[in-house]
Structure 1
Amino acid sequence: MQRSLPLVAVQAPPQLIGAPPEAFAEEAAKALESHPGAKLLVFPELHLFGDGSPDRHRTEALRAAAEPLSGPRMQGLAELARSLGVWLVPGSLCEAGPNGELFNTQVVLSPTGELAGSYRKIFPWRPHEPYDPGDHFVVVDLGGVGRVGLNICYDAWFPEAARQLAWMGADVILNVVKTTTPDRALELVLARANAIVNQVFVVSVNCGGPTGEGRSIIVDPEGAVIVEAPDAAATTLAANLDLGAVDRVRAYGTAGVTRMWSQFRPGEPDIQLPVYGGRISPATWQPAQRT
């Protein structure tokens, strides 16, 4: 069975905190106008939480804007996803935790308006970000088409994050980004590297100028660039991902030769990983099977 995922990734500057919900609804609808067949619409990290221009990232402003995922902001986003009829990733949100925490949380809304998954950023960019870290990785099944792994900005610098999502069965890693610093060039290398060493698609969508550095990118499971924004200008990246490529690359190897997911043989000893207090076990190395 062919598994295709047509998507649109929106590179744009963040909307200001307190902007009317209609503004984002119009932005989302406009992004889909030229791509009516898209099934997934993705925005950058903290897209609805701009704190002026230039963006000041003030902790007090972010905390004041935070809501629990049961709040009115999420209800409005769910209604928007339902009206658009797409899987919607509105970037990430400032989530108010039950014990006063402030989380940077990526959400996925289904075409019927359900919260299909939420992920709290595990690796806040310290010491620059005020967020409390999440404690578990998240993948979301998109209605039998494929499985996406949720990933936020600095998470991409930790290879364990992408490896865990691939092991959990992700075909695509959705890395939503708000990079305003010169290291965006390095993140492009990481996007390709994470795709190559895990044999998954990577969608890394950054916010646009004047706030962000842009240069969003979509990469295939062998590290080839499908589409890339050349600069920070507002734009949309569209691609129809053939998710069957993940299965083919893993079966026949990257460049027809390399199959890292088939590295271990039954009965081989565990490899100890003291830095984690854990191990790699050949018995559990293979990625999860999709249902």
Structure 2
Amino acid sequence: MPVGTISSSQDTVGIAVVNYQVPVLESQEEVLENCRNIASFVEGTKMGYPGLDIIVFPEYSTQGFHPTKWNELCTTIPGPETDIFAEACRKNKVWGVFSITGEINPKGNPYNCFVLIDDQGEIRMNYHKINPWVPKEPWYPGSETMVVEGPKGLKIGANICYDSNMPEIVRDTVMKGAELVIRIQGYMYPSKEQQIKLASIRAWENLTYFAVANMAGRDKVYSYFGHSNIVNFDGAILAECGSSPDEVTYAELSISAIRNARKNWTAENHLFNLTHRGYSAVENGVADCPYSFYKTWTEDPKKAKEICENLTRTTPEQVEEREKETV
């Protein structure tokens, strides 16, 4: 894809990612004032990049992650925060990705949410983070990946921060049809180098556009490294911010180019090759899953957990239980 433009066309989706300044918020009133600031970013970015079709804000950009008051700042979806975002999208005729941390959950702890709003102000997706970051994040885990048709027909999938460290989530999202996987994150030092590289890896192994919006600056606990970026489906970085708060960068994504690659690429077509193993030697290739752990996980989740724990560790609760049993 060409880079350096502020335009788009019928075949391309213009996308912007924001290195949003991490907010430190103490009340619902401060959260709503921050939402209005985010809305001003939508307006200003559309003015500066007239080709803009979708703008992406990081995880925790709405409510922050207050170490003691996080539960007091939770809300509903829809709610007053998404109402402000919806009006900004409708007014500026752009789609937007926003973070809600968290959404009140009648089953237990709140959800960590990726909210996609279209250019008419309608909520098109509310994805719940499947893999909250342990041991710090208190969010109730989601249970399904999500994909919807976005601007100009480009299919969009959602990831939140630690989700993308799990290759299974991105692969499942792409296998549901995603052509652009958007990762909203609140990642801090010292994980900068790993997380920047991860975006290109996930794009390359899944033949997908990959866009990341990350926090920048410091809150009460962490320093965030920014480097929001937009990656081509071949793993090449199309645009990338630095580490400064409130940077915005932009690229255009060709719809026909990614569909052509998925249809016609051979050796680099990791999606096709996954279920057509050895098709140069075997007619139509072999589709059977050769991965014993995934078979076990599907058929016997408890056994899969035991395998994992034998390789790694148990939870603190399990350690305490075993210590009680030995007393």
TM-score by length of 1: 0.86
Q: CA deviation at 1:144?
A: 4.4
- Higher mean C-alpha displacement, 96-105 vs 161-170: 96-105
Count residues in correspondence: 271
Q: Is the 8 A contact 1:5 1:145 kept in 2?
A: no
- Higher mean C-alpha displacement, 153-162 vs 227-236: 227-236
1:110 aligned partner, one-letter code: D
**1:107-155 deviation line (CA, Å, top 9, x unaligned):** 0011111110110000111001111110110112115421111001111
Choose from 33, 45, 48 the match for 2:47. 33
Q: CA deviation at 1:74?
A: 2.1
Q: For 1:1-291, list aligned pairs within 5 A.
A: 3-17=11-25, 18-19=30-31, 20=33, 21-50=35-64, 57-58=66-67, 60-210=68-218, 211-253=223-265, 257-263=267-273, 264=276, 265=284, 268-275=287-294, 277-278=297-298
> Where in structure 1 are there 5+ consecutive unaligned residues?
52-56, 280-291
CA 1:16 to 1:25, structure 2 compared with 1: closer, same or farther past 3 Å? farther
Q: Is the 8 A contact 1:173 1:203 kept in 2?
A: yes
CA 1:269 to 1:257, structure 2 compared with 1: closer, same or farther past 3 Å? closer
Q: CA deviation at 1:37?
A: 2.1
The secondary structure found in structure 2 opposite 1:230 is coil
TM-score by length of 2: 0.77
2:105 aligned partner, one-letter code: G
What is the percent sequence identity of the aligned residues? 25
Segments ≥4 residues shifted beyond 4 Å: none
Which structure carries more helix by proportion? 2
CA 1:22 to 1:205, structure 2 compared with 1: closer, same or farther past 3 Å? closer
Give the Cα separation in 2 of the matches to 1:232 and 1:22.
21
Give the Cα separation in 1 of the matches to 2:182 and 2:15.
11
CA 1:64 to 1:269, structure 2 compared with 1: closer, same or farther past 3 Å? same
CA 1:23 to 1:126, structure 2 compared with 1: closer, same or farther past 3 Å? same
Q: Is the 8 A contact 2:89 2:119 kept in 1?
A: yes
2:44 aligned partner, one-letter code: K
Give the Cα separation in 1 of the matches to 2:290 and 2:92.
48
Give the Cα separation in 1 of the matches to 2:287 and 2:226.
45
Give the RMSD, CA atoms, in angstroms.
Answer: 2.1
Give the Cα separation in 1 of the matches to 2:245 and 2:188.
13
Q: CA deviation at 1:238?
A: 0.5
> Where in structure 2 are there 5+ consecutive unaligned residues?
1-8, 277-283, 300-327
Give the Cα separation in 1 of the matches to 2:240 and 2:232.
12
